Amino acid sequence: DSGVTQTPKHLITATGQRVTLRCSPRSGDLSVYWYQQSLDQGLQFLIQYYNGEERAKGNILERFSAQQFPDLHSELNLSSLELGDSALYFCASSAGGRGLDEQYFGPGTRLTVT
């Protein structure tokens, strides 16, 4: 167990809807990262927050947004959902904000858009 928790485990929703995925980092970790894993694209970095501030941005669609709260948990909001958004969404955390830091991954949230 990495200490990173994600809720919910599974989510099934319809196209056009909006969902929120939640991540709690390991105790003491300041950085949270979000990734999308799909069969064709592999593991894609979406966004990183460090101590409440956005630190790095990857291939995140404009329909998606994230934030990190003062207690360091993070939420990923996905709106106007499309079938292609069906994927496994991982969150990871690390102690610092640097790329050298080992990232600890959560179990993922499986999103199915129907």
Partner 1 sequence: AQRVTQPEKLLSVFKGAPVELKCNYSYSGSPELFWYVQYSRQRLQLLLRHISRESIKGFTADLNKGETSFHLKKPFAQEEDSAMYYCALSANRLAFGKGNQVVVIP
Q: Which residues bind partner 1 (CB under 8 A)?
A: 2, 4, 33, 35, 41-45, 48, 56, 58, 90, 92, 99-100, 102-108
Q: Least distance from C-beta 100 to partner 1, angstroms?
A: 5
User: What minimum distance in Å lies between the beta carbon of 57 and partner 1?
Assistant: 8
Q: Compare residues 52 and 107 and give the one whose CB is closer to partner 1.
A: 107
The one-letter amino acid at 45: F
The CB density around residue 109, as the number of other CB atoms within 10 Å, is 21
Residues forming beta bridges with residue 90, ordered by sequence position:
35
What does residue 107 show for φ and ψ, rounded to 5 degrees? -75, -15
> How many CA within 13 A on the CB side of residue 93?
24
User: Of 33 and 81, which has the nearer Cβ to partner 1?
Assistant: 33
Nearest distance in Å: CB 44, partner 1: 8
Distances, alpha carbon 9 to alpha carbons 4, 6, 41, in Å? 13, 7, 21
Closer residue to partner 1, CB minimum distance, 45 or 86: 45
> At residue 25, what is the residue type?
P
| Distance in Å, CB of 105 to partner 1, minimum | 4
Nearer to partner 1, 44 or 79 (CB): 44
